[in-house]
């Protein structure tokens, strides 16, 4: 069933209207009266609707059934990533969305080579949010992960440590595995943090430890900064029973 | 420690010589007499060597210690991927190498849009092999995964089913999870198969079942064809205790 995202305000109880990009998309698909579509608010609520009218730039829908999204993970995983170079963040946003991340949070750290300046940031976040929306639609999700940018590494630690479980992956950690970390405690929310190309500094790792995060290895091989969060996210989704 | 790959024939018992690209690389790194380097045969054997002489285009080494590679997974995972479009296969080769794949096998399937013609294939495989070598070096591996191309889907099934465990991921499978599949049997070798952009045909899935492969889901969300093998590989490495 074709999936459309609307704002939470546009999710009316009985009748919905698709406009703008959604109407254009519906036209491309040649939607006809009587056909069923899925409309999501991008926050986990969705409804199955029937097309009642197709006009220029506007598709009218009748709500048939409301439900919580069927494709969201039971555990909410937030992916915290130190700003990487170039288009790697876009890659991670697209893939982490497919893999079921609840939100994606970018932050600066000591060895970050690239960090967007204040001026360009607004446009970039808009672009990143669109990438997440597109990946959410394609993968059949009911939630569009929010893309957040924090001002400092300390802000990232503070926010990440509010999850039931916070995990930082560090290439020099040998003893503590992700499996060990996941085997203790009850958690409905997980934050996972990974560093930039040059890695995290020992002092930064120490700060994470003090903030209550588990410091874990991702194995004996050195993963690129864009591979690490996706590998960890895949393993976490596997661990919590998603597949 | 800097890592160089040489051919198995060049792995002499007491003295080694780095030439060609390796010598160029050593020059860029300004290697000096007495420094230690790691030399790998790309097949799981490596030795720690000391630089004994630096000449134009040639670095002489004395072998100090021989060992099996320390960074290879105990379970050998072969990644079988139906030919995707454009540069997605290159992406999977790079990432699967980082994640510890033993080999990467490309094959045609019914809905493959793209498959390289016979003429261009040799050059492409050479290029893919170079990508794997570069990723193996960067991630600190002792094995360079071999890149294989098979002529048919049936060839892929036949070869994949020779592993201790063969798993095919299918988007329409709902009941059998990867976790269920991995919880049965003893295995030192695993084959994982994923389809192209348009998915596998039901008939192809049936053939895989008949060949003895487990048909598994990767969860409720639809993964792109280049995301699926990397997600599965990450989960398998996690399951077998790599991190």
Beta-carbon separation of A98 and B223 below 8 A:
yes
The answer, for A234 touching chain B at a CB cutoff of 8 Å, is yes
Domain extent at residue B190: 76-239
Q: What is the pLDDT of residue B157?
A: 98
The answer, for B139 touching chain A at a CB cutoff of 8 Å, is yes
Residues B34 and B84 occupy one common structural domain: no
CA distance to partner chain A, nearest, from residue B139 (Å)? 4
Residue entry with tokens 């409720």: B220
CATH of the domain at A154: 3.40.1280.10
Residues A185 and A101 occupy one common structural domain: yes
Q: Tens digits of per-residue pLDDT, A118-150? A: 889 999 999 999 999 999 999 999 999 999 999
pTM: 0.94
CA distance to partner chain B, nearest, from residue A147 (Å)? 19
Nearest-angstrom CA–CA distance, B21 and B88: 27
Examine the fold and report which residue of A46, A68, A90 is the final residue of a domain before the chain moves on: A68
Residues A62 and A94 occupy one common structural domain: no
Neighbours of A187 (CB within 10 A): 17
Residues A41 and A88 occupy one common structural domain: no
Give yes or no for a contact between B58 and B18, defined as CB atoms under 8 angstroms apart: yes
For every residue of B189-220, DSSP letters joined together read: EEEEEE--TT---HHHHHHHHHTTPEEEB--S
| Dihedral angle computed from the Cα positions of residues B179, B184, B186 and B191, in that order, rounded to the nearest 10 degrees | -50
CATH of the domain at A19: 2.40.240.20
Residues B44 and B136 occupy one common structural domain: no
Which of A72, A49, A34 shows the shortest CA–CA distance to A3? A49
Beta-carbon separation of A235 and B230 below 8 A:
no
Give yes or no for a contact between B131 and B93, defined as CB atoms under 8 angstroms apart: yes
Residues B105 and B180 occupy one common structural domain: yes
Average pLDDT over residues A53-78: 95
Nearest-angstrom CA–CA distance, A223 and A229: 9
Residues A139 and A63 occupy one common structural domain: no
Which of A25, A80, A96 shows the shortest CA–CA distance to A58? A25
The answer, for A49 touching chain B at a CB cutoff of 8 Å, is no
Residue A6 has phi, psi (to 5 degrees) of -125, 170
- Is the C-alpha dihedral spanning A16, A19, A21, A23 positive or negative? positive
Examine the fold and report which residue of B68, B88, B117 is the final residue of a domain before the chain moves on: B68
CA distance to partner chain A, nearest, from residue B70 (Å)? 8
* Chain A residue numbers touching B100 (CB-CB < 8 A): 219, 221
Q: Which helix (H) or strand (E) holds B205?
A: helix B202-210
Residues B29 and B111 occupy one common structural domain: no
Say whether pLDDT at A115 is over 90. no
Beta-carbon separation of A234 and B239 below 8 A:
no
pLDDT-derived band at B115 (thresholds 50, 70, 90) equals confident
Average pLDDT over residues B187-215: 97
Reported as half-sphere exposure (CB side, CA atoms, 13 A), residue A21 has a value of: 8
Residues A15 and A118 occupy one common structural domain: no
Number of domains in chain A: 2
Residues A108 and A59 occupy one common structural domain: no
The answer, for A66 touching chain B at a CB cutoff of 8 Å, is no
Say whether pLDDT at B114 is over 90. no
Residues A50 and A120 occupy one common structural domain: no
Residues A130 and A216 occupy one common structural domain: yes
**Residues for chain A: how many in total?**
243
Examine the fold and report which residue of A33, A68, A103 is the final residue of a domain before the chain moves on: A68
Give yes or no for a contact between B102 and B143, defined as CB atoms under 8 angstroms apart: yes
């Amino acid at each position: 069933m074709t999936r459309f995202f609307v704002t939470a305000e546009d999710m009316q109880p009985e009748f919905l209207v698709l406009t703008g990009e959604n109407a254009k998309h519906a036209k491309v698909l040649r939607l006809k009266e009587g056909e069923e579509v899925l409309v999501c608010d991008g926050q986990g609520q969705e409804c199955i609707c029937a097309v009642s009218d197709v006009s220029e730039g506007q598709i009218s829908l009748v709500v048939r059934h409301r439900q919580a999204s069927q494709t969201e993970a039971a555990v909410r995983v937030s992916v915290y990533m130190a700003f990487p170079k170039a288009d790697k963040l876009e890659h991670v946003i697209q893939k982490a969305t497919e893999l079921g991340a609840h939100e994606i949070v970018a932050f600066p750290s000591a060895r970050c080579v690239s960090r967007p300046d204040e001026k360009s940031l607004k446009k970039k976040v808009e672009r990143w949010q669109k990438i997440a929306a597109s990946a959410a639609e394609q993968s059949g999700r009911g939630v569009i992960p929010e893309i957040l940018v924090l001002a400092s590494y300390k802000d990232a630690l503070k926010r990440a440590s509010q999850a039931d479980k916070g995990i930082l992956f560090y290439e020099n950690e040998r003893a503590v595995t992700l499996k060990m970390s996941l085997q203790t405690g009850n958690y409905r929310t997980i934050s996972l943090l990974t560093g930039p190309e040059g890695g995290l500094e020992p002092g930064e790792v120490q700060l994470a430890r003090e903030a209550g995060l588990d410091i874990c290895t991702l194995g004996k091989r050195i993963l690129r900064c864009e591979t690490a969060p996706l590998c960890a996210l895949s393993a976490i989704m596997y661990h919590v029973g998603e597949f």
